[in-house]
Amino acid sequence: MSSPISRRLFLALGASVVVAACSKSDDGASGDTVSPTPTTSPEVPTTSSTLAPAPFDVDPFTLGVASGDPSTTSVIIWTRLAPDPSNGGGVLEEEVPVRWELASDAEFTDIVSSGDTIASARYGHSIHVDVSPPAGVVAYYRFRVGQFTSPVGATRLAPDASSTEPVRIATASCQNYTDGFYTAYDDMVKQSPDLVVFLGDYIYEGGIGTLGADTVRLHDSDEITDLVAYRNRYALYRSDPLLQNAHAACPWVVTWDDHEVENNYASLTPQDVADTDGFVARRAAAYQAWWEHMPVRLDPPVDENLSIHRRVTWGGLLNMLVVDGRQYRDDQACGDAVLQVTPACDEAGDPNRSMLGPEQETWVAENIGGSAIWNVVANQTVMTDIRLGAAVLNYDQWDGYAPSRDRLLESVASADNLIVLTGDIHLAGVGQLTTTADPTTSRGIEFVTTSISSSGNIDASTEALLVALPNIIDAEVTHRGYTLHTVDATSWTADYRIVDNALVEGSAVTTWKTFVVTAGSPTVTTV
């Protein structure tokens, strides 16, 4: 553990660093992904196996395919019909019959199941189908409309609770389309993970931008605020072939952060108070577009709310709680100030304030633990305590909700082998989790993955000062990338894969460092 940072060094850090943000319940009885659990796409299934002619004459599968939220019995497969993806999709108001097929081989010589569903305009002609491939093997899926056939995706079920077979998990976050290329995804596919956990900021809501040294491609419109604009923005991001390949390679588990709606929003409070009127409608549009484009085991939203926190298990190894730190949080304290070295205002210490909201806090306490070897929280913002005395560097992170963090860590104190997976701040980092009352005892380890493409927030010259903070094990602030976790019954290994230069297509990807946590120990070592 590093020695505490001095005030003089902190002031130097503060002069040049902005630690900015990437700017239904389970009863615990089942090992499956839960909360809530529709049995199929919300579109009404058809009964005919004969495909009608497509109501368009160009390929509708421009956004690829995806799968997600695997349980021990089923997994969600996804696509969206979008023959004209940048203009609302291009299918107008028609309902379109779509056939899905599941096979044991990528050539589809052995189709094990198939069915029909309807892609409706109500949900942007997106499709979510709950399918049950054979257990213990990779299965392949595709969709067909008229004469058109989608790309093929690979997926699998989660193993049952008796299995402790190793699992490879890639964590990713923060993929601003304008800030860099998705080279990290190309490397991720080559590493063949079993599961991808995406930790928020799938899209960015900002305007078109201007090409320059740090802007390699442009957004498609001014800042997005309505459903059509959000759909078009997802379509732009999903048009990237490297992102499509990563979705097709294995199942994903996805949560959101702020940019899926607006930077630093909190519950129904926008970043700018002047935008309060109309924000409920904006959040409703953003949440619907997110649901339409994610392979999630969730019923579609009917208003501005969408419950996305859920439990995912992987054999006897993982009990993972996917939390939502954005929809239920209290507004950021102290005016959401950044890098003030003066003591935080009283509001930050108010025990009534919450990051997750009371109901979700209770849900975490009730669903953590059990027989799994590793207990995991997939989370948006940095949980490690990096306060400097009474000063808070970033009120949007858990430091701005310290009493809520203390409650969370106390509620999971009996859970074995706590690992927190985090994105948000565009740097690679490892931290130990402590409470305010006991700042020297590690309650678990946090692995913070850097951004896929979003530009960094911290100058490289201050990296050593960041690492000097007492709870920071190590950090790398310069590069983009992702983290590849290899988990077995005895250890959790995190390989930090970094892109040499995300502004250059095809740039080299290497391992920055590898960290290992041994089961039964709340500490981490560097390999």
Q: Is residue 441's pLDDT more than 60?
A: yes
Q: Is the pLDDT of residue 34 over 90?
A: no
pLDDT band at 462 (very low <50, low <70, confident <90, very high): confident
Lowest mean pLDDT among 28-37, 40-49, 233-242, 347-356: 28-37
Which residues partner with 111 through β-bridges?
103
**What letter represents residue 422's amino acid?**
T
The DSSP symbol for 434 reads -
Backbone angles phi, psi at 500, to 5 degrees: -55, -45
pLDDT digits (tens, 9 = 90+) for 185-203: 999 999 999 999 999 999 9
Task: Quote the tokens at residue 409.
Answer: 């860590």
Q: Which residue, among 333, 353, 457, 447, has the nearest Cα to 405 in the 3D structure?
A: 353
Interval 108-124 mean pLDDT: 97
Domain 7-29+40-526, CATH: 3.60.21.70
Q: pLDDT tens-digit profile of 332-350?
A: 999 988 777 889 999 999 9
At 32 the pLDDT is: 40
Pairing of strands 444-448, 418-422: parallel
Q: pLDDT tier at 465 (50, 70, 90 boundaries)?
A: confident
Which of 90-94, 243-247, 277-281 comes out lowest in average pLDDT? 90-94
pTM, whole model, 2 decimals? Answer: 0.92
DSSP 331: P
- Asked whether residue 249 carries a pLDDT value surpassing 60, the answer given is yes
What is the reported pLDDT for 51? 77
pLDDT for the residue 49: 52
Q: To which residue do tokens 């067909």 refer? A: 144
Overall average pLDDT of the 484-505 stretch: 98
Predicted confidence (pLDDT) at residue 223 exceeds the cutoff of 70: yes
Is residue 138 predicted with pLDDT exceeding 70?
yes
> Between the CA atoms of 387, 388, 394 and 398, what dihedral angle is there, to the nearest 10 degrees?
10
Positive/negative CA dihedral, 392, 397, 400, 404: negative
Q: In the predicted model, what is the mean pLDDT of residues 471-481?
A: 97
Confidence grade of residue 457 (pLDDT, cut at 50, 70, 90): confident
The yes-or-no verdict on residue 111 having pLDDT over 50 is: yes
Helices (H), 191-278: 227-238, 241-249
Q: What was the pLDDT predicted at 339?
A: 75
Domain ranges, ordered by start, for the chain: 7-29+40-526
Of the candidates 373, 376, 361, 301, which has an alpha carbon nearest to the alpha carbon of residue 330?
361
256 CA to centre of own chain: 6
- pLDDT band at residue 14, thresholds of 50, 70 and 90? very low
pLDDT at 50: 65
